[in-house]
Structure formats: C-alpha cells, structure tokens
Structure 1
Amino acid sequence: MSISESRQVLRGVGLDSGMIDDVIDDFCRRGYLDDSALAGVLVTSGVERKGQGRVALSRALAQRGIPRDVIDAALDELPDDDDERALEFARGKARSMGRLDPDTALRRLVGQLSRRGYNGAVAMKAAKSALREAAFGGPTSGVRFVDSD
C-alpha cells in the first residue's frame, strides 16, 4: 500500500489525524511503507507483465496516491525504450489480426497501444511496423530492393 492508501484505511477505522500520523511515521520508519519502493515494483510489473507505457504507468501510480516526484523518479529509472516495448506488444497482437482489413487492424492496434499508455506517435509507428511485419512474415531489415526491369 502507498502512504496515501494507508491514510485512507486508517481514517476508515476512525483514528484521529494525530494517531494516523503516528502510525504512518512508525510504519515508514520500520520500512512497512515506502512509496519509492512501491513505485519501483509497480513500474517493473506494469512494464514486464502488462506492457504499459509511461503514460499508463504514471496514471496508475497517481491513482495509488504516490507523490509526483516519486512517480517521476520511478519512471526516470526506466530505459527510454517505449518504442521497443510498444513494437513488441504490437507484434504479438498483429499476428491475430490477419483476417481484418488493414484499416481496421491498424485502428484496433493503435487503440490497444494507446490504452496501454503509449502516445499517439509511438502507437501508430509500432502498429504500422508490426502489421507490415505480420503481412510479410517477420521483422523487416529496413533494406528494400527494387526491380530494375
């Protein structure tokens, strides 16, 4: 739990603000509550298990009542690889969209990426690349050969 969530629970059981502060201080001192550690765990989990982007991670941490400076510090620990994570997620989804027309597949994939917290440009780029790869059977090298005939 975050410190903010803990405060809410303690308010719910009827403790006054002075007692709540004492309990929170004691729990922080003992290491039972640590917003920085919680933010780190949630960021790692969001990236590894859910494939979330920075926007979704930031929103999830804020909803837990974690302070903005702690959120920023946790996100700063992430490598700057939103493009790679978005593409990896999109590749997994693109394989199942082969039966859809290209516009529908692109729209759905961009929507899925956006809901995971990737910004519009990153989502569009990843979706287009993944759908192109799926259509041609694998990652492209970026090298194109043109017939001279």
Structure 2
Amino acid sequence: MADGNGGESDLAPVIPLFGGKLVPASSLPVRRAHAEGGSETHIDDERDKNDDREHDEARSAAEEALVRKLRARSLSLSEARQILRGNELNSAQIDDVIDDFCRRGYLDDAALAEQLVASGIERKGQGRIALSRSLAQRGLRRDVIDAALGELPDDDAERALEFARTKARSLSRLDFETALRRLVGQLARRGYGGSVAMTAARTALTEASLGTRSSGVRFVDSE
C-alpha cells in the first residue's frame, strides 16, 4: 500500500470483520524492531540484568542480617533458615546461603548441640530429659540431639544429687516431707526422672538434716 508520500507503507491496514471503516495501520500502536533485530533482545537482557542485580542485593542483605544474629549467639540451621525467610529469598537462594555458611564453619548443628549440652549441665544442672527438650527447642534434628546426648556418661543420678545438695540448705525451714516434695519438683523441672529425682532429694535432705554435708542444718518436724 502506498503512503501519503507515494511510498510503500510497511504496515498493512486493519480490516474490520463486520463492516465499518478501515483503521489506518499508522494509527495503531506497534512495537517496531530495528533492522538488525536487536532492540527486543536488548530489552530482555537489561531486564535480566536488573533481576540479577535485585537478587544479589537481596542475598547480600539477608547474609548481613544472618551475620548480625550470629555475632550475638550461635544459631542452628533451622534458626538460620527462619532468618533468611524473612529477607525475601526463595528456597534455592536460602539453600545456597546455608551451604555457604556451613562451608565457612559459621553454622554447625553438631557443634551447637555439644555447646548446649555442656552449658545445660554446667550452668543449669540439667538432666537428659531437659537437655533433649532444650536442644529440640533450638530446632536441632533428632539424630543430632541423640548423638550429643550419647556422648554423656550415664551419671544423671550423680548430677541430680549434686544439684539437690546445693538446694537442701535453702529448704531447712520446711518440714521434711514438704522439703522433699519441693526438691523433687525442682529436679523434675531440670529433666531428672522420677526415681532419680526422688532418690537424690531424699539423700540430699537426709545429709543436710544429719549435718553430713553441711554445718548443723535441721529440718523441722511435720505437724
């Protein structure tokens, strides 16, 4: 078709299906390609570059957030994943960051489990039940927990008695049965089983009453 200048137009007219006037092709919005066919490819390339830049920025921000948390305390893999999920990363990106931090030694569930077990025993006097519960609350897997607890000697009874002895004096104002009940409760909350807790409590209170482990503590008689 000839254009207004006598030349050939490169656009065909739009033909209405049900009658009506022809719409000039020149009036329609058309995205033209350059002769070499590179404009659309260039736009797609720019879009891909922008997407890659946004992904890189999101990952950098997520890694910085994770490093800040790790400076405050050690994290389990589960806890690290929760932090990364809050920074707009997809599953694949999260896995990449987790793998990277594990390779660097920043994340190590086995080492964390050992630290928590040592802390629970030395600072809190916890037994196996409480230790297992506290490790599970940190998101550690069952096999990691079992491995960490498997390294402990079977000395719950000894550790329960040691803890009970530290508490016996503070219960001296109570009658024996009341003191026993309270001490057993304290031991149970620290993860010592019923028989272990009862034996440790009785032994510690008896020692305190007889003065074998302390100086002259006496429990009052029950009314």
TM-score w.r.t. length of structure 1: 0.92
Alignment map for 1:1-149 (pairs within 5 Å): 1-139=75-213
Query: Once superposed, which parts of structure 1, at least 4 consecutive aligned residues long, lie more than 4 Å away?
Result: none
Between Structure 1 and Structure 2, whose CA radius of gyration is higher?
2
- Gap runs ≥5 in structure 2: 1-74, 214-223
Task: For residue 26 of structure 1, give the secondary structure of its aligned residue in structure 2.
Answer: helix
Identical aligned pairs, as a percentage?
74
Q: Number of residue pairs matched?
A: 139
Distance in 2 of aligned mates of 1:88 and 1:52: 11
| Secondary structure of the corresponding residue to residue 125 of structure 2 | coil
Q: Which has the higher contact order (CA 8 A, sep 6+)?
A: 1
TM-score (norm. length: structure 2)? 0.61
**What CA distance in whole angstroms lies between the structure 1 residues aligned with 2:100 and 2:193?**
40
- When the two chains are superposed, the root-mean-square deviation of aligned CA atoms in Å is 0.7
Q: Distance in 2 between matches of 1:5 and 1:106?
A: 39
Gaps of 5+ in 1: 140-149
1:97-129 Cα distance to aligned partner (Å, 9 max, x none): 111011110010000000000011100000000
Corresponding residue for residue 146 of structure 1: none
Larger fraction in helix: 1
- Which residue identity is paired with 1:77? E
Which amino acid is the alignment partner of residue 136 of structure 1?
A: L
**Amino acid aligned to 1:30:** R
Give the equivalent residue in structure 1 for 2:41: none
CA drift of 1:138 comes to 1.6
